[in-house]
Structure 1
């Protein structure tokens, strides 16, 4: 029963398969022993409801157009009095919401889901997330989450060691690769702030297929999007270091190189830039080397693939997204720096006064330039590391890499398909042949979306037009599932050609 004066929400009927009546009180606090005990039956009921929703599925996406789906959600909410009714409807409404959510969400565990760098999550971090959320720690101050603060330090150190960064390395968890890259370029800008203040023009180098967040970061930081100088790539979509060397040598007297951003795992192709050459050029020209390894950094766990990251230990900073090749619930991005002094000290009297810091009561506020309150995201990562170890994560990546290699061979063997880029990591880029291939491949992908049969990616290759992409991040998938994906693309392409 709620405490005196509290507003009670009516008790619901038990969820399907549950023997525990669920009650929700307006003052129900999750982060107490009693609250955590109540959380268990509610979480079980939600899991049961989500499983029921998934069983109603026939593919990775609901078979609806966006307009049809928007109307369905509107009608469902309206039937219950809207998303914010005057009177709460109790646990039954929550269970029903989650069942509907699972029915209408993308099912990343479906083998037909192969569009984005968005993996199905492992069970361990997903379960840990519920407890972390209930306890609601923040890592900005020590007294906002002592264990969370310490565990982030240990996870950061473990990742730095795996990548071969020096003992001075440090890092911070962020909301994603875009935020990590922004923070890295903020640090790089600070290193040449005096020259920029004197009127020098900033230049940031990256490959022509680098992530768009590099250009966005330069715009946000006041460097200007035109500060980004893109370097052409080779036939395997890797930055050409000979052209980078020429571009650096050709800088005007009033231009200052701020950073070289090398990519370890481009979003479309999984290509990895020549990291040792980029590191040598960064040293020669006195600029920072940032490695955007948001995608490819997970190769560090694989004995088979970690050699692709040779040279990353020379980076000044590294972005690593564990919500990609770490199978974590998002967010789980990390920015690592070779020298922890890159994180500028920042004191705020109500959070981390100097005398508290001197006594050891410092949190991680100094690490983050983009957030104050920060979730204890490192806890779910630590749980996964403890449960599976590096070898376990590496085995998951190896399975996905095997699927991508199989997909490459299957596509190469199909006369109606044209391979554009084979599997470096877990992506394969290709297209359906035919008249007006740009329009054809766009239409066939939308046909697959509309029917909910399969979810494949799309990209445009400069000078080569619209292509499709298989992003294979489901380690439970099999080669027969890859065959089904390719067959679905072939069938949709044939249907679109007939309809044209």
Structure 2
């Protein structure tokens, strides 16, 4: 006879497990629990005066080590009280106007309503017999966005976990399509062809790290990604791309694909698709547009022209959890020709047999890298149906307009701030500057500025490196952030910077 390994004290304290299963028998406790959790969130946000508490990992780790996961608490109130101290008090709050760090957006509450619904129903959209209408909602959204890009009816796509997965999918299809068309080789069944190490992907020198990560996962390696030089606005230079292609040809390497970033993470810059697309056609290269950030301009009322010629791309990545104000995760991979999705498809007899496809049954797993997959499309669906696309576009437009206002003001008023670029979207790279400071001193000064502002909970800024030197970065996605709040952040940057580099200041002569 097998003996239970559960301590008697734990077994005795554990309530009836079945009562926690969500069903029509649990509606009243479900409503009460949801109400209590919502009240807790509302109370927290109404009292939140800073974007972060500045807590250290060591401080939080000490608290969490005291939690005994084998001993459940008595009721939800105690559970939420514990969560208050281990999470809510020290969370980073993206809705706060002083959060100006990464590509984390404040979210629209219609999407939160969708989260409640999709979480309760727990739909998995991999097959029709697990999702029904959810499948059609996701597909309708995909079709709608393909139309907004400017593609014809043969376009398609799939929701993904984020830009990294979407870029991986784009390069996977690019690799397999190239091998099939140019080498008469099926990677899906035969593995990588001989000489696969010669395949090359071209991306700008400031493209997202996921391009190299994808190359590694695809068995090509980081060295398969050729960095292409940018112009002064951090956009891929078409002439540099041509030279890189010819250089690869001289080295007996094989160009396969180009990744054109539409909104780089640091600079918000757009690689020029109108000039890059003809080069790709000339060289028979797959053109993938990484619009994880800039894809929000598809709904823009003011700045849509910055996505010019995106319809010339073979595939596109879009993150709805960036510039569409959706909760994580909510993204999509879009494709000019649905036939190319065959490279990602697999038919399992128990899940999505080929007979389903022949019968016209839509199983989204046929074109996804994931199997089990949340109904993330519902968040965007409810946001569009409730707010409308113009309202979502307006939120992003305001963030972009604010960024230009900040740039103009800093250029005119801040002599000790070095700006690196005209903003292309809603990011701005800069640093505190002192003429007498060395590069190493400036790096350390700006590192201390960011650390102090975060530790004190005053402002959350990001950091990056450009040509090996340390810089600060604003990322604006909050339509409620005002210019005067950014001016306060710059004043704090200047105050700490001047204090840090004060020994470098020349002594002032005493007044007569």
TM-score, structure 1 normalization: 0.90
What is the rounded CA distance, in whole Å, between the counterparts of 1:415 and 1:404 in structure 2? Answer: 18
TM-score, structure 2 normalization: 0.88
What is the rounded CA distance, in whole Å, between the counterparts of 1:424 and 1:396 in structure 2? Answer: 16
Per the alignment, residue 492 of structure 2 pairs with 488
- Alignment root-mean-square deviation, CA: 2.1
**1:49 maps to 2:40:** yes
Q: Write the mapping of 1:315-394 to structure 2, written as runs, cut at 5 A.
A: 315-344=313-342, 345-369=345-369, 371-394=370-393
Q: Secondary structure at the match of 1:421?
A: coil
Q: Secondary structure at the match of 2:325?
A: coil
Per the alignment, residue 187 of structure 2 pairs with none
Per the alignment, residue 27 of structure 1 pairs with 19
* Candidates 175, 195, 203, aligned match of 1:199: 195
* Candidates 208, 222, 231, aligned match of 1:234: 231
Could you tell me whether the CA contact under 8 Å between 1:58 and 1:453 is conserved in 2?
A: no
What is the rounded CA distance, in whole Å, between the counterparts of 1:250 and 1:338 in structure 2? Answer: 29
Could you tell me how far 1:348 is from its partner in structure 2? 0.3
Could you tell me whether the CA contact under 8 Å between 1:422 and 1:429 is conserved in 2?
A: no
* Candidates 116, 119, 128, aligned match of 2:105: 119
**1:180 maps to 2:166:** yes
What is the rounded CA distance, in whole Å, between the counterparts of 2:355 and 2:64 in structure 1? Answer: 53
Could you tell me whether the CA contact under 8 Å between 1:10 and 1:89 is conserved in 2?
A: no
* Candidates 39, 47, 58, aligned match of 1:67: 58
**1:439 maps to 2:444:** yes
* Candidates 119, 128, 137, aligned match of 1:151: 137
What is the rounded CA distance, in whole Å, between the counterparts of 2:170 and 2:235 in structure 1? Answer: 21
User: What are the superposed Cα offsets for residues 235-261 of structure 1, whole Å, 9 maximum, x if unpaired?
Assistant: 100000111112223332642211100
**1:214 maps to 2:219:** no
Q: Secondary structure at the match of 1:172?
A: strand
Per the alignment, residue 6 of structure 2 pairs with none
Could you tell me whether the CA contact under 8 Å between 1:56 and 1:103 is conserved in 2?
A: no
- Which range is displaced more, 114-123 or 419-428? 419-428
Runs of 4+ in 1 over 6 A off after TM superposition: 7-11
Per the alignment, residue 155 of structure 2 pairs with 169
Per the alignment, residue 20 of structure 1 pairs with none
Per the alignment, residue 408 of structure 1 pairs with 407
Could you tell me how far 1:449 is from its partner in structure 2? 1.4
Per the alignment, residue 423 of structure 1 pairs with 423
Could you tell me whether the CA contact under 8 Å between 1:426 and 1:471 is conserved in 2?
A: yes
Per the alignment, residue 92 of structure 1 pairs with 77
User: What are the superposed Cα offsets for residues 353-394 of structure 1, whole Å, 9 maximum, x if unpaired?
Assistant: 23333333331111112x110110101111111112221111
Per the alignment, residue 15 of structure 1 pairs with none
Flag the 1:58–1:142 CA change in 2: closer, same or farther, 3 A: same
User: What are the superposed Cα offsets for residues 99-124 of structure 1, whole Å, 9 maximum, x if unpaired?
Assistant: 33222110111111110001111111
Per the alignment, residue 451 of structure 1 pairs with 456
Could you tell me whether the CA contact under 8 Å between 2:167 and 2:214 is conserved in 1?
A: yes
Per the alignment, residue 278 of structure 2 pairs with 280
Flag the 1:493–1:112 CA change in 2: closer, same or farther, 3 A: same
Q: Secondary structure at the match of 1:129?
A: helix
- Which range is displaced more, 222-231 or 401-410? 401-410
What is the rounded CA distance, in whole Å, between the counterparts of 1:126 and 1:321 in structure 2? Answer: 17
Could you tell me how far 1:73 is from its partner in structure 2? 4.1
Could you tell me whether the CA contact under 8 Å between 2:73 and 2:79 is conserved in 1?
A: no
User: What are the superposed Cα offsets for residues 87-141 of structure 1, whole Å, 9 maximum, x if unpaired?
Assistant: 4432113322443322211011111111000111111112211220111111111
What is the rounded CA distance, in whole Å, between the counterparts of 2:478 and 2:72 in structure 1? Answer: 42
Flag the 1:9–1:25 CA change in 2: closer, same or farther, 3 A: farther
Could you tell me how far 1:10 is from its partner in structure 2? 8.5
Per the alignment, residue 109 of structure 1 pairs with 95
What is the rounded CA distance, in whole Å, between the counterparts of 2:494 and 2:18 in structure 1? Answer: 53
Could you tell me how far 1:44 is from its partner in structure 2? 2.1
Could you tell me whether the CA contact under 8 Å between 1:170 and 1:336 is conserved in 2?
A: yes
Flag the 1:230–1:90 CA change in 2: closer, same or farther, 3 A: same
Per the alignment, residue 3 of structure 1 pairs with none
Could you tell me whether the CA contact under 8 Å between 2:98 and 2:481 is conserved in 1?
A: no
Per the alignment, residue 124 of structure 2 pairs with 138
Could you tell me whether the CA contact under 8 Å between 1:52 and 1:99 is conserved in 2?
A: no
Flag the 1:98–1:120 CA change in 2: closer, same or farther, 3 A: farther
What is the rounded CA distance, in whole Å, between the counterparts of 1:322 and 1:153 in structure 2? Answer: 15
- Which range is displaced more, 490-499 or 443-452? 490-499
User: What are the superposed Cα offsets for residues 190-238 of structure 1, whole Å, 9 maximum, x if unpaired?
Assistant: 0122537242510100100000000110011011111111111011000
Flag the 1:122–1:10 CA change in 2: closer, same or farther, 3 A: farther
What is the rounded CA distance, in whole Å, between the counterparts of 1:319 and 1:446 in structure 2? Answer: 32
Could you tell me whether the CA contact under 8 Å between 1:46 and 1:98 is conserved in 2?
A: no
Could you tell me whether the CA contact under 8 Å between 2:352 and 2:366 is conserved in 1?
A: no
